């Protein structure tokens, strides 16, 4: 008679947990959310305090977003460029996070077609050129440009290490440049970087290997990967799982954070919940604001919010991979975190809930029945231009 199988032990949310070479104090990560407090691309006291509050609130790892590896790869001119000039300020930030007992991650990347070319004073690069949904022109990056950007990732990694970051997250989501190369809709190349999934993943794979080789052994390397772009003709689960398998085979990553949506064409696919059309439109210049009144609903589409809305997609990756996975997307309850760990996810990442309450992890640890006050109104989204925050907190 066969013996009954032993139940698999579910990791405790608030016990120390391994992330590659790191030991994090628990399994809650602050996901990257653009902080909006880097005027002129400088590290401000407000940026340092933003992450200090998250660390003091109990998250194990706070992720700084978004650090560009190239000047034209900034989202706009106020975005931080990760280089020698920003290292001292970022060292202040990592020191502040470490003083609160947490670790610090640097999200690095190239905005590609998401970049504001006018603000940057440089063309926005994409796999194949063309126009953005808002009518801005994109320039196809050539082979020499790809080689230069790969080297920019290497230099940025060195700077991140010098700034004291414990982990480096490579942004391969939201149709930023590496994500755009994965997209069948955006990548129409006929060279070694276009066509098959393997070709479209070549750029990202080379970057990940470059970052891993440039980082010392005591620094974790992760990637944030789109499961689905949320755009017709874009990346979908069948191909993104294949990309994740290629990443796993390369052995450069300590974990993979799973995301979705397109900052270029469909950001609400990532956020879900109410679309802040009026508030977002108010942040735009006059002529653009007028046009947004008529087409804004196409850009900020409406998707109903539900707890852990990316979990059904993420389960496909959990079934296909042995790489540690970080679950993202509408996580606000202790029960959800426990469910994710029970299903084999290594960590959960929280964003809006920690904007509302940076101390939510501490409160959850003290009382598992704690309920997040975030109502998913998404009125925090337009505040990225004036300091990302929950507008319901006085």
- For 247-271, the DSSP string reads HHHHT--SEEEEEE-BTTTBTHHHH
**Among 132, 84, 135, 82, CA closest to 107:** 82
- Range scoring the smallest mean pLDDT among 7-21, 23-37, 185-199, 338-352: 7-21
pLDDT at position 294 over 80: no
Classify the C-alpha dihedral 301-113-347-375 as positive or negative. negative
pLDDT at 286: 61
> Is 286 a domain residue?
yes
Is 11 inside any structural domain? no
pLDDT band at 212, cuts 50/70/90?
very high
Residue 1 lies in a domain: no
Cis peptide before 66 (omega within 30 of 0): yes
Question: Higher pLDDT residue, 143 or 129?
Answer: 143
Report the pLDDT value the prediction gives residue 3, as an integer from 0 to 100: 52
Residue 313 pLDDT: 98
Asked if the structure places residue 393 within a domain, the reply is: no
**Mean pLDDT, residues 149-167:** 98
* Residue 10 covered by a domain: no
Give pLDDT, residue 1: 47
> pLDDT tens digits for 233-244?
999 999 999 999
For the chain, what percent of residues have pLDDT higher than 70?
94
| Percentage of residues of the chain with pLDDT beyond 90 | 84
Measured CA to CA, the distance from residue 107 to residue 245 in angstroms comes to 22
Task: Supply the mean pLDDT for the chain.
Answer: 93
Rounded Cα gap, residues 163 and 292, in angstroms = 40
Question: Which of 184, 201, 298, 290 is closest to 244 using CA atoms?
Answer: 201
Choosing from 176, 269, 309, 313, the catalytic residue is: 176
- Residue 191 reports pLDDT greater than 90: yes
At residue 385 the predicted structure's pLDDT band, cuts being 50, 70 and 90, is confident
Q: Total structural domains in the chain?
A: 1
Domain annotation covers residue 44: yes
Model confidence at 6, pLDDT cuts 50, 70, 90, reads low
Q: Report pTM.
A: 0.94
320-370 pLDDT, tens digit each: 999 999 999 999 999 999 999 999 999 999 999 999 999 999 999 999 999
283 touches 382 (CB < 8 A) = yes
Average pLDDT, stretch 312-324? Answer: 98
176 is catalytic: yes
CATH number at 174 reads 3.20.20.70
- Whether 24 is in a domain gets the answer yes
Residue 178 CB contacts under 8 Å (≥ 6 apart), including other chains: 109, 110, 112, 170, 171, 172, 203, 204, 207
Q: Does a structural domain hold residue 216?
A: yes
What is the span of the domain harbouring residue 217? 17-385
pLDDT band at 135 (very low <50, low <70, confident <90, very high): low
Q: Is the pLDDT of residue 86 over 90?
A: yes
pLDDT value, residue 7: 57
Task: Calculate the alpha carbon distances from 273 to 255, 285, 332, 391 in Å.
Answer: 28, 25, 14, 16
């Amino acid at each position: 008679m066969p013996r009954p199988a032993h139940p698999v032990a579910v990791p405790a949310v608030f016990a120390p947990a391994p992330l590659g070479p790191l030991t994090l104090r628990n399994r809650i990560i602050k996901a990257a959310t653009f902080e909006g407090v880097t005027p002129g691309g400088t590290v401000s006291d407000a940026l340092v305090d933003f992450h200090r509050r998250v660390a003091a609130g109990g998250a194990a790892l706070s992720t700084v977003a978004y650090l560009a590896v190239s000047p034209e790869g900034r989202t706009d001119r106020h975005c931080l460029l990760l280089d020698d000039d920003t290292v001292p300020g970022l060292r202040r930030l990592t020191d502040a996070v470490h003083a609160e007992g947490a670790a610090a991650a640097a999200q690095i990347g190239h905005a590609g077609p998401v970049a504001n070319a006018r603000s940057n004073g440089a063309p926005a690069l994409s796999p194949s050129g063309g126009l953005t949904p808002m009518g801005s022109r994109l320039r196809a990056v050539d082979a020499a440009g790809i080689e230069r950007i790969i080297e920019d990732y290497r230099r940025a990694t060195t700077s991140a290490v010098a700034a004291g970051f414990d982990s480096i997250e490579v942004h391969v989501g939201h149709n930023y440049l590496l994500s755009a190369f994965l997209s069948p809709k955006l990548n129409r190349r006929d060279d070694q970087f276009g066509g098959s999934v393997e070709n479209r993943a070549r750029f990202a794979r080379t970057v990940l290997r470059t970052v891993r080789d440039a980082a010392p052994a005591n620094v974790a390397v992760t990637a944030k990967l789109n499961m689905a772009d949320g755009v017709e003709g874009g990346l979908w689960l069948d191909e993104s799982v294949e990309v994740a398998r290629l990443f796993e085979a390369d052995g450069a990553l300590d974990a993979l954070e799973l995301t979705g949506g397109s900052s270029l064409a469909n950001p609400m696919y990532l956020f879900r919940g109410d679309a802040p059309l009026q508030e977002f439109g108010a942040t735009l210049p006059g002529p653009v604001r007028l046009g947004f009144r008529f087409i804004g609903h196409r850009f900020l589409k409406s998707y109903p919010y539900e707890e852990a809305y990316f979990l059904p997609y993420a389960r496909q990756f959990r079934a296909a991979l042995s790489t540690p996975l970080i679950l993202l997307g509408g996580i606000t309850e202790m029960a959800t975190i426990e469910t994710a760990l029970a299903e084999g996810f290594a960590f959960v990442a929280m964003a809006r809930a920690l904007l509302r309450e940076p101390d939510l992890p501490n409160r959850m640890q003290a009382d598992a029945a704690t309920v997040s006050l975030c109502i998913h109104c998404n009125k925090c989204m337009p505040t990225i231009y004036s300091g990302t925050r929950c507008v319901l907190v006085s």
